[in-house]
Structure 1
Amino acid sequence: MIRALRTTLALPLFLLLSACGGSRERADLVFVNSAEIETPDPAKATDQVSMRISESLFEGLCRNTGGKAEPAVAERWEVSEDKKRYVFHLRKDAVWSNGDPVTAHDFVWSWQRALDPKTASDYAPQLYPLVNAKAFNEGKVTDPSQIGVKALDDRTLECVLENPIPYWIDLCAFLTLSPVHRPTVEKHGDSWIKARNIIGNGPYVMGEWLIDDKIRLIKSHNYWDRDNVKMRTVEVLPISEANTALNYFLTGQADLLMDKGMVPLSLVPKLKKEDYFHTGPFLGTWFIRMNTKKPHFQDPRVRLAFAYAVDRKRIVEKITQLGEQTAFSLTPPGTGQNYQPPPGPEYNPEKARALMAEAGYPGGRGFPRVEYLHLPLPIERNIAVELQSMWQQTLGVTVNLDKKEQKIWLSAMRELSYDMCRSSWVGDYNDPNTFLEMFTIGNGNNRTGWESPAYDGFIAAAAAEGDTAKRHEIFSNAEKLLISEQAPIIPVYHYVGVQFRRANLKGVKANLIDNHPFRAMYWDPAPAR
């Protein structure tokens, strides 16, 4: 592979690099992604490493810049007085990378595709605010024309919502709501995402995709805002080993790293002093999922016992070391209009042991050996070892550690073929709903097997409530049920964003949803050509 052959000597930022015995022009921006992407399909991408690529190839009615939604394919829109009807007007110069116009019909078909149960989109619930969208996704409504989205003409899209929600425009900037090119999908089937086939409407096209080696993005000359896209080429390297990734950056072979797990733990104190190292808070939480379909995790008392046995302070001070805030809720405090979540279980070994005994496992006796699934990153390994020790010392249970690559880890969560696993969530928009809705029944991002009609009732009531204070109270009741009473998940800490970047690389700033599009990045001063 090319990565293994590259020199480790310090290099200038803009030069020609040797690759496999030949030479190729260095990309304007070389970015290290912490894993190989799962898919660039906007309807199916769920992890951050995949979404970074997909949002470079596709664009919705709105787009995110600096974490804020702004007009994109839609140049303007009107909202009805009751806040339930939106009419979007698409810009004339929005076209696909092959020159076809992007139309309102493209959005209707793409949204129906994302909601179609056959597509199996984990993010289909992002479209649930639309009338009948949830019912269609669940098979209760079979006519897609009954979904609250309609093309009034080629350049006018109407959206009708079940309830007025404060974040619909933010959702219109979310990847899942991006259109896909229908003729390409229908012609190539599952192979439509290959580099030689894929047609997008975003700022970049896929020039090359060599799995586990690199992805090369090339600026699209058909993109409506192409004059403001400064990086002509972006090369994305999937490197999961933190020391290797840092070496690429320090030797000039990469310009930007943005994944939390890519910080070599032994170097954290030193790296924090470097001017290329940047951190900033955002709406993200690291937590543990528990498979409630497993017989040994069906009792909430057992799940709560595991939660009370976790010393979060020990993890953030001993392992992560970046100033993360310990998490006793899934939703970070202050999300949205200053939502304050109820506190969940804190570290309490005595209560943990009492709950375990009450559930029939005093001192851990009789409890089966279980596995904890984690990713192959140093920080994840160290956290796993600490958790293993905490659960052994406090509960008397044996937890084996199971390390899997990202694709297998994602698959295991979807298929519920795990006992416990590390997980994380970054807010898709600045509202408590983005954290709490995913644990409703049937949500593709639930991945715990946990089902609670009472919880679903809270989430539905919050969606219908227009008063902010009352809405927050409903969310608080839901989160109390989720974290403190049923505990299918264990929040551990709220994220701090990390970037290793060159001093003259601009357009990369910490923001609440940790979104950093390549199209917004540029060099200042620009390199000589």
Structure 2
Amino acid sequence: MTRSRVASVVALGVASALMLAACGGGGSSEGGGAGAPGGGTFSLNINSDPENPLVPGNTTESEGGQVIRALFTPLVSYNTETVEIEYGAVAESIETEDNTTFTVTLKDGWTFHDGSPITSSSFVDAWNYTANVENAQGGAYFFSKIAGYDGENPKPAMEGLQVVDDLTFTVQLSAPFSQFPLMTGYTPFSPLPEAFFADPDAFGRQPIGNGPFKADTEYVPGQGITLSRFEEYAGDNPAQAGGIDVRLISDVNTAYNELIGGNLDVFRYQVPPELATIAPDELGDRFFEREASSFTFMGFPVYDPRFQDPRVRQAFSMAVDRPAITEAIFSGTRTPAYDIIPPTIDGHRPDACQFCQYDPARAQQLLTESGFDTSQPVELWFNSGAGHDAWVQAVGNQLQQNLGITYSLRGDLDFAQYLPLAEEQGMTGPFRLGWSMDYPSPENFLGPLFTSAGLPPAGSNYPFYSNPEVERLVAEANAASTNEEAVALYQQADDIVLTELPVMPIFFSVSQGGHSENVDNVQFSPFATDIVLTDVTVNG
């Protein structure tokens, strides 16, 4: 695509085998009617402390991400229904003639929460900081397409970023990538004020952003953070509520009970599996759900000799009965996954993964051929407090029944401890993770998870998987001149990943949540468990 304002590429688009054993302060209404600007504060849960300080370029997980999206606004926005790119944020336009050089023009009048103006340097300096390997930012991968990026050696500035004037800068990519404008709505592409560079540590505790809400307090580990509406917000979608009490509630069942008890206004993590069929009746019209872009998988530590043979990973995958798990554990509220690219993204194929089909006999044959030592137990990892216990145990029971593998559950770490362990190659067996859309492209599911540029700490390739052919195909897809050509190449890369299986897809999600009678207009964004915070209204 070469027209001046690049559009989105999104297409709108048995139980017996489980052998399962039985396994705060509230919301407030401070005056103001529904929809009245500044009309009261509502409470919202997150499931764990953010993994890192609240800096856009270093926040790539869901819990910190929800807070960051309230505090920062990047270049472009997305339509909450169609996920198409919109220019309701800081960029007036992103123009290109060759999909390699992009000219970014900013809207005038945007400011940070401290009143300082947003200029081209606010973006260029922020992007350079995030991309510099010396700063070890989790979002560095997303700048790897810019000319001059170096993922191995410190580099304070990339040649591909040039300030033209206060409201214009250019981005030179190392190769054509027609979908680059789509990336710029992801929070690591947010601007940073001069206050950040003066004291990054203090900033990470109480960020100064440019989003619809501002931080009134520092983030308190184990508790949360208080936000209020930014009255000078220049975006197309200002906040309707006066503020948000972001509360850390580490156990999903506790959070749900807080909602039912009237002590929480917006429950956003995910309805616990055992309540998936009860919640709609219990909450009535206060229950809400949406097909999500996220998929849940068990990753393999391919750095561990036990899991380096693809036949081992294929055997494990074919020993898992996905429909049985989604029905028995989630009452059909999850969709068995046979692809990495989710149904909400152009390029999804419902039966792409042949080694995800349930076939215990073939699984046993593959495991025998690999010489896998079944006398040693396998550890199955998942983060605590998020409702993963039952389905991971179901996976373990099926591996035990179909492959003769004994297993132990390792679900003792919360998410803020869990991800650093994965980054340090500390996983000793298959580990639960999920991935949801940062921007609407198949590249977002292949590049960060399965290419060398996505290796931690720059990205989220926690299996530490690498395949030169996958790299080549993703690069060719990135440079494709049409969406159709790009999708076909992404699917070829997808096929290799689904054969070698550094991760085994388990299910695609439907995001489910609930809200109290204190609030209305609560909905999920297209990005998994994120709430569209600007739309929430507090009832008088």
What is the TM-score of this pair, normalised by structure 1? 0.87
- Structure number with the bigger relative contact order (C-alpha 8 A, sep ≥ 6) is 2
Three-state SS of the structure 2 residue aligned to 1:461 is helix
Deviations 1:39-61 (A, max 9, x none): 31111101111011112222211
Return the offset for 1:338: 6.3
8 A contact 1:339–1:472 mirrored in 2: no
Change (3 A) 1:227 1:374: closer
* Partner residue, 2:34: none
Return the offset for 1:64: 3.7
**1:238-387 → structure 2 map (5 Å cutoff):** 238-260=248-270, 263-273=271-281, 274-333=284-343, 335-336=345-346, 342-345=352-355, 346-361=357-372, 365-366=374-375, 368-377=376-385, 379-387=387-395
Task: For 2:201 and 2:94, locate their aligned partners in 1 and report how far apart those are by CA, in whole Å.
Answer: 36
**1:424-439 → structure 2 map (5 Å cutoff):** 424-438=434-448, 439=450
Letter in 1 for 2:92: R
Return the offset for 1:26: 11
Task: For 2:539 and 2:525, locate their aligned partners in 1 and report how far apart those are by CA, in whole Å.
Answer: 27
Q: Does 1:28 align with 2:38?
A: no
* Partner residue, 1:449: 464
Return the offset for 1:108: 0.8
C-alpha RMSD of matched pairs (Å): 2.6
Three-state SS of the structure 2 residue aligned to 1:423 is strand
Change (3 A) 1:365 1:78: closer
Deviations 1:146-202 (A, max 9, x none): 1x2211011112223344434322211110101122x3233324333123xx32222
Task: For 1:344 and 1:179, locate their aligned partners in 2 and report how far apart those are by CA, in whole Å.
Answer: 43
Task: For 1:37 and 1:378, locate their aligned partners in 2 and report how far apart those are by CA, in whole Å.
Answer: 14
Task: For 1:322 and 1:447, locate their aligned partners in 2 and report how far apart those are by CA, in whole Å.
Answer: 29
8 A contact 1:60–1:178 mirrored in 2: yes
Match of 1:155 among 156, 160, 167: 167
* Partner residue, 2:8: none
* Higher mean C-alpha deviation, range 28-37 or range 122-131: 122-131
Match of 2:146 among 101, 110, 130: 130
**1:63-212 → structure 2 map (5 Å cutoff):** 63-66=77-80, 67-72=83-88, 74-133=90-149, 136-139=150-153, 142=155, 144-146=157-159, 148-181=160-193, 183-195=194-206, 198-208=207-217, 209-212=219-222
* Partner residue, 1:494: 508
Letter in 2 for 1:29: F
Three-state SS of the structure 2 residue aligned to 1:49 is helix
What is the TM-score of this pair, normalised by structure 2? 0.85
Task: For 1:333 and 1:242, locate their aligned partners in 2 and report how far apart those are by CA, in whole Å.
Answer: 26
Change (3 A) 1:13 1:74: closer
Return the offset for 1:72: 4.8
Match of 2:407 among 399, 402, 408: 399
Task: Could you tell me which runs of 5 or more consecutive residues in structure 1 were left unpaired when the two chains were aligned.
Answer: 17-24
Change (3 A) 1:64 1:342: same
Change (3 A) 1:348 1:405: same
Letter in 2 for 1:271: A
Return the offset for 1:213: 1.5
* Partner residue, 1:474: 489
* Partner residue, 1:52: 66
8 A contact 1:74–1:88 mirrored in 2: no
Change (3 A) 1:341 1:174: farther
* Partner residue, 2:6: none
8 A contact 1:13–1:252 mirrored in 2: no
8 A contact 1:285–1:426 mirrored in 2: yes
Letter in 2 for 1:28: T
* Partner residue, 1:236: 246
Task: For 2:63 and 2:416, locate their aligned partners in 1 and report how far apart those are by CA, in whole Å.
Answer: 11
Change (3 A) 1:477 1:409: same
Change (3 A) 1:473 1:57: same
8 A contact 2:523–2:531 mirrored in 1: no
Three-state SS of the structure 2 residue aligned to 1:212 is coil
Letter in 1 for 2:440: N
Task: For 1:456 and 1:348, locate their aligned partners in 2 and report how far apart those are by CA, in whole Å.
Answer: 30
* Partner residue, 2:417: 408
8 A contact 2:518–2:539 mirrored in 1: no
8 A contact 2:295–2:340 mirrored in 1: yes
* Higher mean C-alpha deviation, range 445-454 or range 336-345: 336-345
Three-state SS of the structure 2 residue aligned to 1:307 is helix
Task: Could you tell me which runs of 5 or more consecutive residues in structure 2 were left unpaired when the two chains were aligned.
Answer: 1-23, 32-37
Change (3 A) 1:468 1:228: closer
Sequence identity percentage: 22
Letter in 1 for 2:90: A
Letter in 1 for 2:103: V
Change (3 A) 1:205 1:512: closer
Change (3 A) 1:375 1:98: same
Change (3 A) 1:334 1:251: closer
Letter in 2 for 1:386: A
Change (3 A) 1:266 1:199: closer
Deviations 1:369-403 (A, max 9, x none): 23111122363000121111111111112221111
Task: For 2:40 and 2:248, locate their aligned partners in 1 and report how far apart those are by CA, in whole Å.
Answer: 15
Change (3 A) 1:359 1:519: closer
Task: For 2:286 and 2:299, locate their aligned partners in 1 and report how far apart those are by CA, in whole Å.
Answer: 34
